[in-house]
Structure 1
Amino acid sequence: MKSILFAAAEGLPFIKSGGLADVIGSLPKILNEKGYDVRVVLPLYKKVAEKYFDSFEYLGTVQIKIGWIDQPASYFKTEVEGVTYYFVQHQAYFERDALYGFADDGERFSFFQKAILEMCKMLDFFPDIMHAHDWHTGMLAALTKIHYGSDWRFDKVKHVYTIHNLAFQGNFPKDILGSCLGLSYKYYEDGSMRFDGGISFMKTGIVYSDKVTTVSPSYAKEILTAEYGEHLDEILRYRQHDLWGIVNGIDTVEWNPQTDKHITKNYTMKNVQKGKRDNKIALQKDLGLREAPDVLMVGIVSRLTYQKGVYLIAERLADIMGLDLQFVVLGTGEQDAESTFRYMEEKYKRRAVYYCGYNEELAHRVYASCDLFLMPSLYEPCGIGQLIAMRYGSLPLVRETGGLRDTVHAYNQYTNEGNGFSFWAFSGDDLVHTLRWATDTYYTNPEGWKSLVQHAMETDVSWEYSANLYHELYEMI
């Protein structure tokens, strides 16, 4: 049985700020079912400690020495659905009100990565594969090979590095090499870690890992270009023969309209129309929308940022709300985007509602109630929302990029194929045109809409296919 250690900065069911947490919460379970011994290591954040600490098992404490850092790390573990989770505790570094965005993030996650390697020694657990995720663990392969290269137990470890979003790279001043990583400046001078006058955790992960993956085949191709490569396209092209694009799945037990405890009425493909109707009525009542079970309801559950395409909606809001629809938005993000949706709610009373923040129960209810799920992203490495939406029979309307392009196939009224709607150009005109087309289909072609819903719910959004690709990758190295 091969052992794999997933190293990440967040993961369900414990802590989440983005799609990374969904992957960490669901993929290890599937891989364990395929015969691997997959374990996960995370920082012990304040919110995790407040909710779960009493149920954790204490493993020990080790003094972490790297660069100028000389701090203790305490280790805890628990098990969820057959997966072992380890937690690295350092109150000053991790027990804060937010996960990231601090001036000392470079120091915090340097400590975390060194603590992971010391944990392996303490537990006498040296995985066959160390699978690092995003910039927060981008230095793991380099630290293993440079600091522990003479230790045969680490020397046999292979490294996989997954890019979840290339835009977030972990870029820091070069001084951090010595102060927080205990590394020579030669790694800056030879270019292996150098990036934009400093160093990049993500670039280092790409350079030093045995294999590199990202979260959809289309995104793997896009990031080789200057347009999407975030100034790392040259190094990615250098590693392109080791770069795999493997689309994410979702936890189909957690996201299941037949058993979901958060929604008003459970349903299956057989009674999806009645199920969505009952959920829509209940949501309209609770959110103060006009009670109209037959109106087209459009939903968004997202970070509200430029990347997510929300400003396309803002610039054509009057045209969009000129259609016969209701709009429900759940999310938080950039101030201008939030202001746009507050204005929308005020101007179009009882037709639009905006919930600022994230509410897990409400997210489930939006997926179950809306007819159309909007994701007009500028770029989208994979996307989770469109997968959940299809699971609940809500048709995704997306821009053709990254994982959205790989998972959503546009409706063809002549062949009756497709599981959603899509457009290519990143423009408000194309968004409105496609939304009009979807609205017209909903009201004038109910049989076509019903067929689309069926195709969406039949789409395999589980981890099964992707887990087989990870199996192939692991066996290869």
Structure 2
Amino acid sequence: MHANNSLGNATPIGFLLRVRPLRILFVTPEVEPFVKVGGLADMTGALPKELAALGHDVRIVCPAYGSVKSHGPRTARAEPLGVDVGSEAQWARTWEATLPGTAVPVYLLEHDGYFARPEVYAGPGGSHTDNDLRFAFLCRGALSLCQQLDWIPDVVHGHDWTTGLLPVYLNTTLKNTPLGRIASVFTIHNLEHQGYADRRVLDFARLPASEFRADSVESTGAVNMLKAGLYHSTKLTTVSPTYAEEIKTPAGGWGLDDVLRFRAGDLVGILNGIDTAAWNPATDKYLPTHYSATTLAGKAADKRALQARLGLAQDPHVAVFGVVARFVQQKGLDLLAEALPHIMGRMHVQFAILGSGDPGLEHTFRWAAGQFPGRVGVNIGYDNELSHLIQGGSDCFVMPSRSEPCGLTQMYAMRYGTVPLARATGGLIDTIEQYTEGSGKGTGFLFTDATAPALYNTVGWACATYYDRPAEFTRLRLNGMAKDFSWKTSAAHYVEVYRWAAEQRTGEKLV
């Protein structure tokens, strides 16, 4: 199947609901609300809820990091979990919890040597040097837990390079065991992060040394854990249809485009959804004033609150542009840093910026706040409450990303009547409809070139629309608020992929 095909057209969703309930195991390095680094956690915390609502038996395995938060009761299983890695068996304690508001089990694997530290991937000194061993332990531990629970899933769904060894186990060491019937679905959240490791990880994981070859786990003389997942998984998905196409090209493939073209028949792009309960301007606990598409007046009150929070001038008429992002090259915040002095010199705007990352960019945005007092407000770090207020109080939301596998914040923005302004790439193309002047059509402003002048010109276009065509700007707000970005449709598409994978793995029809 071509990655950009419509699953909904291939099989009616109503049919999917008549297929027998599936047993689905999520194995993930992070899951909202227990531990979160990025959008991966949002997906693994939201998609299982929708799958469970469709009647499927979904369970989640995640490490019990030192920073894991408690959400409701959590109990330890009495039986220790033996994990066949290293020179001799190692042991973990398993904590059982549930996704809040559901009965979906979450199993948190505790091992002090690998997971007691608070960070997920990297500490103050950079990436943990034993990440290969830590996440090999997660993969083998998740499969050992299935045996201990006497619960064999139809499908194991792994996420990014940290789970790349899962399908290798199923295709090699465990192939001739009951676990060998399990199909694997592997989701690429961000192809840039591939999990390069020394060959030692194969010995540690007790995987065949013969898998260290170019058509399996080897890349440039090292083990590439993401490549392992790409080669060995039954089916592959990524988080938007456009990104599924981009990663098959040399420009977007990060050295793995040949592998992805080879697996193109099993690669499907399914757009991520958002948690529409947590992100709803009519009920958002972080907004001082609630509003909806029929009562937009409340948005003006939130704009005043945002201006007050970040020290911006209390001007109800000025266009406020919001930014919530990690300060990294992928997000294109260097383009904004370059364009910002020119924007402030020529346009009547305010900027509300929240984020952290590159020290140079942090310094530049702090400088801009001092250089343009009352017009640029900056908060370095992450503040969940402020992120909601920026969505609720801004007029436009800026995302100049060089690449964006899916993106969630542009969907949050549209739900809050905040018009996205973004570079046309990946999931931003799939979620934002380009504004056409005079037509009342569109949901945002898109530009193509990853340059500061292109961003500057698009901000100017948005300003001209805001000030000179206010009725059309309001129409853009309402168009965005009318979009359905829930997980419901995407979850049904995932059920289709799981069904294909399970039937391909076993050669049997699911009835």
TM-score normalised by length of structure 2: 0.90
Shift of 1:133: 0.5
Structure 2 counterpart of 1:389, one-letter code: A
Residue number in structure 2 paired with 1:40: 60
Seen in structure 2, the aligned counterparts of structure 1 residues 84 and 131 have a Cα distance that, compared at 3 Å, is same
Contact 1:69 1:111 in 2 (8 A): no
Runs (5+) with no aligned partner, structure 1:
none
Query: SS of the counterpart of 2:378?
Result: strand
Shift of 1:99: 1.0
User: Deviation per CA, 1:336-360, whole angstroms, max 9, x where unpaired?
Assistant: 1111111111111111111111111
Residue number in structure 1 paired with 2:14: none
Moved over 3 A (4+): 67-70
Superposition RMSD in Å: 1.3
Q: Report which stretch shifted further, 228-237 or 326-335.
A: 326-335
Contact 1:313 1:320 in 2 (8 A): no
Shift of 1:409: 1.0
Residue number in structure 1 paired with 2:324: 301
Contact 2:215 2:231 in 1 (8 A): no
1:111 corresponds to which of 111, 120, 137: 137
Residue number in structure 2 paired with 1:424: 448
Contact 1:117 1:144 in 2 (8 A): no
Contact 1:419 1:456 in 2 (8 A): yes
Structure 2 counterpart of 1:11, one-letter code: V
User: Deviation per CA, 1:46-74, whole angstroms, max 9, x where unpaired?
Assistant: 121xx428821111312323133643111
Structure 1 counterpart of 2:38, one-letter code: G
Query: For the residues of structure 2 that align with 1:476 and 1:68, how far apart are their CA atoms?
Result: 37
Contact 1:379 1:402 in 2 (8 A): yes
What number of residue pairs does the alignment pair up? 472
**Given the alignment of the two structures, is residue 283 of structure 1 paired with residue 306 of structure 2, yes or no?**
yes
Query: For the residues of structure 2 that align with 1:9 and 1:305, how far apart are their CA atoms?
Result: 21
User: Deviation per CA, 1:102-148, whole angstroms, max 9, x where unpaired?
Assistant: 01111111111111111111111111110001111111011122221
1:89 corresponds to which of 110, 113, 125: 110
Residue number in structure 2 paired with 1:148: 174
Residue number in structure 1 paired with 2:474: 450
Contact 1:2 1:128 in 2 (8 A): yes
Residue number in structure 1 paired with 2:494: 470
Shift of 1:175: 2.6
Indicate the structure whose relative CO is greater, using CA pairs within 8 Å and at least 6 residues apart. Answer: 2
Spell out the pairing of 1:38-437 with structure 2 (5 A cutoff): 38-48=58-68, 51-52=69-70, 55-59=73-77, 60-68=79-87, 70-80=89-99, 81-82=101-102, 83-100=104-121, 101-151=127-177, 153-178=178-203, 180-189=204-213, 191-272=215-296, 274-322=297-345, 323-437=347-461
Q: Report which stretch shifted further, 92-101 or 396-405.
A: 92-101
Seen in structure 2, the aligned counterparts of structure 1 residues 461 and 54 have a Cα distance that, compared at 3 Å, is closer
Query: For the residues of structure 1 that align with 2:93 and 2:480, how far apart are their CA atoms?
Result: 46
TM-score normalised by length of structure 1: 0.97
Runs (5+) with no aligned partner, structure 2:
1-20, 122-126, 502-511
Contact 1:382 1:403 in 2 (8 A): yes
Shift of 1:176: 2.0
Query: For the residues of structure 2 that align with 1:304 and 1:476, how far apart are their CA atoms?
Result: 39
Contact 1:215 1:246 in 2 (8 A): yes
Query: For the residues of structure 2 that align with 1:337 and 1:287, how far apart are their CA atoms?
Result: 18
